[in-house]
Chains A and B, each alone.
Chain A
Amino acid sequence: MAEASSNLRTPLILGDKKPIEVSDDICGILERKPTQLWWAAFGVSLFVLIVGAIATAYQVSTGIGTWGLNKSVGWAFDITNFVFWIGIGHAGTLISAILFLFRQRWRTSVNRAAEAMTIIAVLCAAIFPLIHMGRPWLAFWPLPYPNFRGPLWVNFRSPLVWDIFAISTYFIISSVFWYVGLIPDLATIRDRAKEGIRKKIMGILSLGWDGSYRTWVRYETVYLLLAGLATPLVVSVHTIVSMDFATSIIPGWHTTIFPPYFVAGAVFSGFAMVLLLIPIARKVMNLEDYFTMRHIDAMCKIILLTGSIVGLAYLTEFFTAAYSGSVYEQFVFMNRAFGPYAWAYWIMVSCNVISPQLMWFKRVRSNLYIVFALTIVVNIGMWFERFVIIVTSLHRDYLPSSWADYTPTIIELLTLAGTFGLFFTLFLLFCRFLPVIAMGEVKGILSYGRSKRARNVSKTCDEPVGMTPALEGEEA
């Protein structure tokens, strides 16, 4: 190599931190009293959550009629929000499981927060299948359980039943994966905590973690297995969600492209959400050394990739419609682009296809403000994507007599806002009570002592430095 550059990789964690400093940084957040900013954010989130809960309670007690749905458009905000939130969740699993299997070690500082986001997003999503039912108090009926009605079984041909399996599996695996990953860190908190309630709770939750070599080995085996289990879920959940539409006969829904298109869209929106949260978190909690610009850059690239896939899918849909020879199919896509909901369509296209293309530029990727703005834009775009798919397909389908427009009511808007309230409330609680960064994992990739060694090691040496037994793996 002609250039005089460091043969060591750019450190993943900045600041030349010692392990104890990591613990101090991360646990310190929990051990300090919450800041006023936290209280303010929490207060606003909780307020929005309560308003949303009141709107939901009103809807459940009065009837679905308090939503703007009608005889032709039977789903709109409800399922849009559902798919949106499920999609948000995908980034967490992708980061924690797939990137783990691919040995992308930069993931260590973001995976905890991303996973938490996944679980919270799935919770937000799960509200909608429940409350969109006409009789939500019978929501257990789609579950196949032994009963006194015959027994009456569920309809295994219905994609809604597949949904229940897919989402509950996803939720369980993600939660377990997240919890298992938390155990060493919970033990750290336990060990640092003075006598008191925190110590007790963390003592129970950390399951007697002793940090021994054997514990670490077992822990890593379980973690690897769970990562393997969670990986197919990244693909399966949104595939099955997309089948709610793909298996129907409604033009605009009945499309075989949906599974890959939905998965790409989900990853796209999920990373956008992670990128929305991380700049705030690093600023507010002084975690600039952990959430580095390198993370942001990498995630921007994923957004660029998935955003382009989504854009390609949009084009493919149009091509398929034109090629299909079906007047209904052709009409629905023209109607999307130029009909009464054209505004929604063009919001979707400009947010999802055009805006991520800016991320080709390094200067964009390295400007936090622009990235932050783009992630909001992408999230809006992805919400509108689901809205466009659901509403524009339903509102003008086969028989022109049944064509109807849809306008949301205040109840629907408040319910959507309420789920954001729930999301941020839970996320803020997570930031308060659990380590937002996987300390145990981060300690494994510290650049501690590295500056000194960089001077000493030979030019050909490319060995990474492992500080703890944790996550000792091959660096590709």
Chain B
Amino acid sequence: MSNDSSKRYWMSPQELEGTTDRTAESRSDVAEWMEQAPGNVNRRSFLKAAGFTFAAATAAAGCKRMPVKKAIPYLNQPEGRIAGRAIHYASVCDGCEAGCGILVRNRDGRPIKLEGNAEHPVTQGGLCAIGQASILGLYDSHRYQGPKAGDSSTWAEVDKALMASLAPLREGSAPVYFVTSSVNSPVKQASIDAFLASFSNGQHVVYDPISSSAILDAHEQTHGRRIFPRYRFDKAEVVVSLDADFLGTWISPIEYTAGYQSLRQLDGETPRQSYHVQVESRMSLTGTNADKRYRVAPEDLGQTVTLLAAAVARKTHTTFSASAVEHSALPAEDIEALAERLVAAKGHSLVVSGSQDVAVQKVCNFINDALGNYGATVDLTHPSSQRQGNDAKLATFVSTLLAGKAGAVFVAGVNPAYDLPEGKKIAEALAGLKVSVSFAERPDETSEACKFNCPDSHYLESWGDAEAVAGVVSIRQPVIRPIFKTRPLLESLAAWMGTPLDGRSIVMAHWESTVHPRSNGGVAFRKFWDTTLRAGFATVNIASVEGAVYQKGSASAVVAKAHGEGDAFTVVAYPKVGISDGRHAYNPWLQELPDPVSKATWDNYACLSVAAAASLKVSEGDMVKVDVDAATIELPVYVQPGQHDKVIAIALGYGQKISERFSGVGPQWISSKPSVGEDGLVGKDIAALQETGLVNRSLQRSGATIVRSRGKSPLACTQTYHRITTPENLPFSGNIRRNNVQETTLAAYKNDPTAGRPDVHHFEGELYKDDHEYKGHHWGMAVDLSACTGCSACTIACHAENNVPVGGKDEVRRRRDMHWMRIDRYYSGPGDEVDVVHQPMMCQHCDHASCENVCPVLATVHTDEGLNAQVYNRCVGTRYCANNCAYKVRRFNWFNYRHDDQLENMVLNPDVTVRTRGIMEKCSFCVQRINEAKNEAKRKGVKLADGDIKPACQQTCAANAIVFGDMNDPESEISKLMNSPRHFKVLEEINVRPSVAYMTLVRNRADDAQHEGTQEEPHHG
């Protein structure tokens, strides 16, 4: 401190000039209050003020406060930018190859949230959990912060070194490989092609970590073209899915979910619901939504599809021999009935399969052709670029590489050293190469083995484009300058071709020459570009796909595959909704996202059916050893009802190097346990269990054995009781169905729209009828249980929007997950023959809220718009409100959750307070969005329109399962739903009067008899 007392500090020019009184400008609350006191300051008020100041100073000094950061205003405010107002930029998601249209919400120059682009013709406003979470990757401080090659760490040096190394390869015969996942970007494809063309032997190897090459190969054989069709679920009234998890993880779930739900509309004039049959070996998210589901061993899938083909052929007067099939996994009459339904919906049906057996896919193609689905629900004229992987080429690449004959390898967007069963050898081979280049954004198994690390920028930092489905092109625009010294792949390639250009020029040039000529209407390029950039997409003409017709006789019966002998199990590796193939395993939001079916987080595990677990005498969390061909891994067990008894399902994407970072995630205290295993990684890598040398890489492998090993590893599940009925072993009150989920069948619903709602409560003689008056708005929400697939995108959207903290595995295991929006999943029915329901659950904003009257300090109060508001800074944390919440939606800050990664903090939504330790939080109906929309309407001088406000969960929902609006507006959608005969309120009988309504779950079934689960009637005394 300076002792120079003559120095005088001034707070404004006026003060310096002596034109204002400093104290008036800087008065504090205390000073203001003292001024109000008559006769200025008397002794009592002085003492009071002094006491208050002292107490406040003590309190302020005693507690840890968040550091105060100065906000500095713009010196020159950019045009159109107003601090605090969000700007949305249209772009396209790069979380996977599906290419969903997005809007990036920017606040004060930084992207904070991704939203689905509602105008996008393919995805129609939905965005999945991975897409929602991909924004966190931008602010990942563990990304490569610049290029690296030996000692060089600037782009100029690395470029120079690489060019020097590449020079001898340009003319040589050694192949130069460019390994990528499916490229849905035309400009990227063109750049890679051009780059490889500069080598005499350049090869582009495309593989998908979760391969669908069998579909491409099958179409090559049956239709003569190696293309991936666009499946039109929006036209398919009968859907038969054979092990394809199209609502969860298969190819393009958002597109498929939107299409699928468009045919399952129950509230219109004529209720309609497509009929969905799922034949699968494990319980997939799609299986949980099926109207009819069969558990079939993976080996029996071929026979099933062959028998179905034969049945369809008989009914469509074609022939298909199924004589080779000896027995059927499905009852013969069921296959007949299914074929009947398929044929009845000729041209409006769809058979899809996730199998990697080309023969199975060919039979599917036969069925779809026999049903006239090609050109209707299976679109080959608008093929998809979401899957292009060619496993045959990949196999050649791998063998060349392992033989040491590869000249150079470039790897972008994939992690072969982890993805492939030969991963370890690939890493060694890459390390032995002179030129191996990785574009990985963050260190992974492959990039660590590569000589050159040329990190690609995050997709939100780069220019690009996408044409995931032929005819719909999108531009990807950067929404922030690269945070690190990374360089977009397009620019790297341009630089190495000797024509350094910035990304925008590359994309524009390509669009001008290639995309613009395909556009309709003959607008000038500049205008076409601007319009497309603003909208995020454009519909353009496509080159017609000639000659893609089914060649008769190209498919034949699939003979039974050999089951493993005796006690042998089949290992089925599967992608989880959040983790998928593992490329987002760095993302803590996705690690903490409960799997929609198992509700487990932060781990992979060996799923066993109820019967299998019983026969092995294991229960959840017991460690087991899974053995296939000398490869062994040890995993905890998860008991998964509805799985085939001879299947062990294990999730992919775990045990990756990028999960090392999670060793210190979450609160650290004396009894906390790390989120990583003993090897320092999250979950186990199961590459060792996968089969090598397959023509089409498959996720299934027969002949596994499983034995119980020692120890337990409790799983971190957000839900540990899974049934809708009370525990069977409880005398008297056991096995009683709780009526928080009300469901019926389509047949019953058509008869009586209130079907499935046994308890409709009417409360007469309310003591406090007009406890709250809602003169203006009265916000409400409706959730359609029939529409919700459980995909959990809303959970992550809410996570991103509302700054929900991540607790880590131990906190979840202690049942302290912080999600404001959760999806409850219940099973009904006996043993493994279960029905599944997903019930999104968030604060119900009750009009008679039980939380409100128990808070001693009025930290949770009712607003005049019907919101149950939580006042964070008033909360002292007694947790009484959470105890007294019938829905258990309140979340308590058990610790000060870590916000020490300053870069990661950039993703925080500035409109939502970051909660400190010791206070309660919960869903606010996105009150910040309500206020933003109200302010916007006020500013424009217009009335708030229905649909202006979309909470984050509703916005991202591809199935349109969530509707939010003003219940006081009789014309609003929510008002109509609130009057729908299908609506019910959860726990209506306790009369807390929730503002959230649920629409009964309707399954497309003839009657209740099909599943016993639906027969259980709620009991009442």
Contacts and interface: CB of A to CB of B under 8 A. Distances in A.
Interface of A: 58, 62-66, 68-72, 74-75, 129, 132-135, 137-139, 141-142, 148, 152-155, 157-161, 164, 244, 247-250, 323-327, 330-331, 334-335, 338-339, 394, 396-405, 409-411
A43 B896 CA distance: 36
Lowest 9 CB-CB distances: which A-B pairs, in order?
A134-B877, A134-B918, A325-B1021, A65-B894, A401-B824, A74-B879, A402-B888, A70-B815, A160-B856
A401 B826 contact: yes
B826 A338 contact: no
A153 B732 CA distance: 47
Interface in B32-83: 33, 52, 59, 62-63
B928 interface: no
B841 A399 contact: yes
A404 to B, nearest CB: 4
Contacts of A63: 667, 669, 893-896, 917-918
B547 interface: no
Nearest to B32: A148
B891 A250 contact: no
B876 interface: yes
A409 B816 CA distance: 15
B1021 to A, nearest CB: 3
Nearest to B63: A137
Given A155-B856, A338-B729, A327 B888 contact: no
A250 B63 CA distance: 34
Contacts of B52: 148
B736 A331 contact: yes
Interface of chain A, main secondary structure: loop
Interface stretch (B176-184, B213-221, B657-665, B847-855): B847-855
Contacts of A72: 815, 888
Interface in B832-871: 839, 841, 850, 853-858
A415 to B, nearest CB: 14
A154 B858 contact: yes
A10 B856 CA distance: 53
Contacts of B174: none
B826 A138 contact: no
Contacts of B854: 157-160, 247-248
B855 A71 contact: no
Nearest to B722: A400
A327 B815 contact: no
Nearest to A156: B856
Nearest to A248: B884
Given A153-B858, A325-B1021, A394-B883, A135 B853 contact: no
A134 to B, nearest CB: 2
A411 B814 CA distance: 15
Contacts of B726: 331, 400
A66 B670 contact: yes
B721 interface: yes
Contacts of A157: 853-854
B1021 A158 contact: no
Contact of A70 (B731, B816, B826, B886): B816
A326 B874 CA distance: 36
Majority-rule SS of B interface residues: loop
Nearest to A333: B733
Nearest to B729: A338
Given A160-B854, A334-B733, A135 B877 contact: yes
Nearest to B56: A148
A184 to B, nearest CB: 39
Contacts of B920: 134
B993 to A, nearest CB: 12
B892 A74 contact: yes
A248 B886 CA distance: 10
B62 A250 contact: no
Contacts of A132: 878-879
A141 B726 CA distance: 41
Contacts of A394: 883
Interface string B797-837: 00000000000000100111100001011100000000000
B825 A401 contact: yes
Contacts of B890: 71
Contacts of A129: 878
30 contacts: A64-B894, A65-B669, A65-B816, A68-B814, A71-B815, A71-B816, A71-B882, A71-B890, A71-B891, A74-B892, A75-B883, A132-B878, A134-B879, A134-B920, A135-B917, A148-B30, A155-B858, A157-B853, A158-B853, A160-B854, A160-B880, A325-B1020, A327-B733, A331-B730, A331-B733, A399-B986, A399-B987, A400-B722, A401-B822, A402-B824
Given A70-B814, A134-B892, A399-B986, 16 more contacts: A62-B895, A63-B895, A69-B894, A71-B817, A75-B880, A134-B875, A135-B876, A160-B856, A249-B886, A327-B736, A327-B1021, A330-B733, A399-B740, A399-B887, A400-B738, A410-B670
Contacts of B888: 71-72, 397-399, 402
Given A65-B669, A71-B816, A142-B857, A326 B876 contact: no
B255 to A, nearest CB: 29
Contacts of A160: 854-856, 878, 880
